[in-house]
Structure 1
Amino acid sequence: MTRTASPPEPSGPQGAAPATEPAAAAPARITQRSLGRRFLSRPEVGSLMGAVAVFVLFFVISDTFRSADAITTVLYASSTIGIMAVGVSLLMIGGEFDLSAGVGVITSALAAGMFAFQFSTNVWVGVAFALAVSLTIGYINGLLVIKTKLPSFLITLSMFMMLQGLNLAVTRAVTGSVSTQSISNMDGFSSAQSVFATSFTLGPVSVRITVLWWIVFVALATWVLLRSRVGNWIYAAGGNADAARAVGVPVNYTKIGLFMTVGFMAWFVGMHQLFRFNTVQSGEGVGMELLYIAACVIGGCALMGGWGTAVGAAIGAFIFGMAKMGIVYAGWNADLFMFFIGATLLLATLLNLWVRLRTARR
């Protein structure tokens, strides 16, 4: 908001201006942007427009896409990407990347499954062990970025390669194959499955619990960004780290915490995969990190940091879910999925750039 200043009003008897003086100036006015302009300045506006366009496209061309069951399937496909996109979006707003996030999900699932099976423990012990592993990976990524001053792209690319090799090598050494043993008959499996991989009935349809967790995580991240001091630190660290340090923002701790947040989300998605399928293939997860980052970029997160929202990342993930299942429901060649995602990413990036330029001019 800008305040338009006016010259002081001349005074006369009873506050009226003398007859010989010019008319009193109008009182100060506060100018305010219209609701439409404020809406267009939001980081997620481009992804919202894209989501509406994709939804209308598949709604029109596919009868199956219009069913309630299809919508819940789309939401499930979106949630498994969207949960990770929450952590990745916070990290990107903080000015960093994590290319190890995709294989980190599988590392977490492998750690929980193999630990519980090999030591014959309650599966919750394996879950706790996997959480420690995931948080440690995030901590190491953040610490190396801070200490070495190297770009997070290089640090996490190195971690990606190391985890990919460890996933295969350790799994082969422990199990004799490339997958973990089934843990479905072990103590604690049912209770863990109810937390990470169950379904619940909502009216006539069955909804995966990951959809509910996705909403919870997006809401929590949005509250942190908009209503907490930590949110201010995240935006400040991503916008200008040196300036943020100068005003007392703990930039190093903030960035390490963001990498550990990505680790936490990787743990959660890894637990979902483990308790839904009972076993985990050690070679999976490669390439998923690009989808997480793309969802955030489509959702309005700036590649250079300091700009974006968790809601925008959620919308980007929803576009992925609609594209993934909509192509199948429409009977198109499934190989077109990545082309569709690439085209959507390009268009969303251009639209987000246009929105940011328009906002900067105002």
Structure 2
Amino acid sequence: MSTTTTGPEASKSPPASDERLAGSHRLSTILRRPEVGAAVAALVIFVFFATTTSAFVKPGGASTWIFTSSTIGIMAVAVSLLMIGGEFDLSAGAMIGTTGLTTGILMSEYGTNVWVAILVSLVIAVVIGALNGILVMRTGLPSFIVTLGSFFVLQGVNLAVTKLLIGKVSVSGLQREDGYTQGQQVFGSFVKINLGGDLPLTIYAATFWWIAVTAIATWVLLRTRAGNWIFAVGGAQNSARQVGVPVFKTKVGLFITTAVAGWLVGMLSLFKTTTVQSTTGVGQEFIFIICAVVGGCLLTGGYGSAVGAALGALIYGMVQQGIVYEGWDNDWLYAILGVMLLGAVLVNNWVKARAEAVK
């Protein structure tokens, strides 16, 4: 005789699991990762250039695009944090030249100790970054406008003040200065790996800094209270303030972070090439933003990934050098960057919509 259980006992029975729902959950989790699209794109681009030109994967060729990706990647990661926080910094590129010129002039023209010169340029970067953040927060003006103004100020100072102080617009021959080798060990050193080709694979200090910056930024975003604040102020600033998030401190800190990243790239470039121009870094600010967007950052803030931005920089480095090895006109780089930006925005919006739909 069979019986049917009813009442409380029946309500306690666990519902039967549906494999389709489990699959949707896994798909949603994957799609909602900001860096997924950039990882796929990086793989496709690498395979394309690796199969169409042998120079791309040779140690000598790989050394070039890895270094390019590294310097762009450091800035892209810092810019991605700022974009996740809902702001932009158009002075980031000019900051590279400003800090490089400051260090170079202090060492070559005034005989300043290398570490004192580096520290002075770092302090200048922190002050400018803090001013950008304070102006944005106190005036309520869009960060696009504030940092655009900072960009023109820095560009003018780099040209006019440098010419006023040393009678030219560039600093060169820094390797002859006392203490240069000390700075080079930290910012301009390299490791050569012999893989059997004509040239060894050269990994510069910038690559190690890039990896470290990406790892630290990822840890901050995913494992710290500050990371939660960054996502909160970018996604809903007013709501974040109402629940106790220190909006002012968080956003000013993000602007300082971007400025410090510009200082770091300025030092890496200066101690690798031993020269710096007044125009160094100018025009690269949009490349940093493109790399961050390609890496999954939304222009509206509140969403993104440091790893994705690093992958976006890797894509840029591979495309820039791949065009050279393919023998294409270099002018196509900017057309490709434009397509990458538009494509990334469309794909990011589509992926986010799909992820929401399959929850």
Deviations along 1:16-70, whole A, 9 cap, x unmatched? x965848935414676554333112211122122212211221221121132332
Please tell me whether the aligned partners of residues 114 and 181 of structure 1 are also in contact (alpha carbons under 8 angstroms): no
Give the one of 271, 283, 302 matched to 2:279. 283
Return the letter of the residue paired with 1:278. Answer: T
Return the letter of the residue paired with 2:217. Answer: A
Question: Which residue does the alignment assign to 1:24?
Answer: 10
Please tell me whether the aligned partners of residues 116 and 125 of structure 1 are also in contact (alpha carbons under 8 angstroms): no
Structure 1 240/19 Cα, relative in aligned 2: closer, same or farther at 3 Å? closer
| Distance apart, 1:345 and its partner CA | 1.6
User: C-alpha distance in 1, partners of 2:267/2:5?
Assistant: 82
User: C-alpha distance in 1, partners of 2:120/2:328?
Assistant: 42
Return the letter of the residue paired with 1:348. Answer: A
Return the letter of the residue paired with 2:86. Answer: G
Question: Which residue does the alignment assign to 1:185?
Answer: 176
Question: Which residue does the alignment assign to 2:154?
Answer: 163
Aligned with 1:132: secondary structure?
A: helix
- Which structure's CA Rg is the greater one? 1
Question: Which residue does the alignment assign to 1:13?
Answer: none
Question: Which residue does the alignment assign to 2:53?
Answer: 62
User: C-alpha distance in 2, partners of 1:56/1:307?
Assistant: 29
Return the letter of the residue paired with 2:72. Answer: I
Task: State the identity as a percent.
Answer: 46
User: C-alpha distance in 2, partners of 1:308/1:231?
Assistant: 11
Return the letter of the residue paired with 1:240. Answer: A
User: C-alpha distance in 1, partners of 2:263/2:241?
Assistant: 31
| Distance apart, 1:273 and its partner CA | 1.5
Please tell me whether the aligned partners of residues 69 and 313 of structure 2 are also in contact (alpha carbons under 8 angstroms): yes
Deviates more, 1:323-332 or 1:174-183: 174-183
Q: Work out whether 1:294 is the aligned partner of 2:290.
A: yes
Q: Work out whether 1:360 is the aligned partner of 2:356.
A: yes
Question: Which residue does the alignment assign to 2:44?
Answer: 53
| Distance apart, 1:203 and its partner CA | 4.6
User: C-alpha distance in 2, partners of 1:93/1:240?
Assistant: 11
| Distance apart, 1:118 and its partner CA | 2.8
Question: Which residue does the alignment assign to 1:152?
Answer: 143
Deviations along 1:199-256, whole A, 9 cap, x unmatched? 1123532211111110110000000000000000000010011101111100100000
Q: Work out whether 1:114 is the aligned partner of 2:105.
A: yes
Structure 2 regions of 5+ residues with no counterpart?
196-200
**TM-score normalised by structure 1 residue count:** 0.91
Give the one of 42, 67, 82 matched to 1:76. 67
Structure 1 20/311 Cα, relative in aligned 2: closer, same or farther at 3 Å? closer
Higher RCO structure (Cα 8 Å, ≥6 apart):
2
Question: Which residue does the alignment assign to 2:247?
Answer: 251
Aligned with 1:187: secondary structure?
A: coil
User: C-alpha distance in 2, partners of 1:228/1:24?
Assistant: 43
Return the letter of the residue paired with 1:215. Answer: I
User: C-alpha distance in 1, partners of 2:6/2:121?
Assistant: 80
Return the letter of the residue paired with 1:275. Answer: F
Please tell me whether the aligned partners of residues 199 and 209 of structure 1 are also in contact (alpha carbons under 8 angstroms): yes
User: C-alpha distance in 1, partners of 2:111/2:237?
Assistant: 47
Return the letter of the residue paired with 1:261. Answer: T
Question: Which residue does the alignment assign to 1:346?
Answer: 342
User: C-alpha distance in 1, partners of 2:115/2:174?
Assistant: 11
Please tell me whether the aligned partners of residues 121 and 187 of structure 1 are also in contact (alpha carbons under 8 angstroms): no
Q: Work out whether 1:132 is the aligned partner of 2:89.
A: no
User: C-alpha distance in 2, partners of 1:206/1:285?
Assistant: 23
Question: Which residue does the alignment assign to 2:133?
Answer: 142
User: C-alpha distance in 2, partners of 1:48/1:103?
Assistant: 29
User: C-alpha distance in 1, partners of 2:6/2:107?
Assistant: 89
Please tell me whether the aligned partners of residues 73 and 210 of structure 2 are also in contact (alpha carbons under 8 angstroms): yes
Please tell me whether the aligned partners of residues 297 and 305 of structure 2 are also in contact (alpha carbons under 8 angstroms): yes
Q: Work out whether 1:95 is the aligned partner of 2:62.
A: no
User: C-alpha distance in 2, partners of 1:251/1:46?
Assistant: 30
Question: Which residue does the alignment assign to 2:312?
Answer: 316
Give the one of 76, 91, 108 matched to 1:85. 76
Deviations along 1:327-360, whole A, 9 cap, x unmatched? 0111111111111111122212211110011122
User: C-alpha distance in 2, partners of 1:78/1:128?
Assistant: 26
Structure 1 116/50 Cα, relative in aligned 2: closer, same or farther at 3 Å? same
| Distance apart, 1:182 and its partner CA | 2.7
Q: Work out whether 1:237 is the aligned partner of 2:240.
A: no
Deviates more, 1:348-357 or 1:235-244: 348-357
Return the letter of the residue paired with 2:117. Answer: G
Deviates more, 1:128-137 or 1:108-117: 108-117
| Distance apart, 1:181 and its partner CA | 4.5
Structure 1 36/70 Cα, relative in aligned 2: closer, same or farther at 3 Å? farther
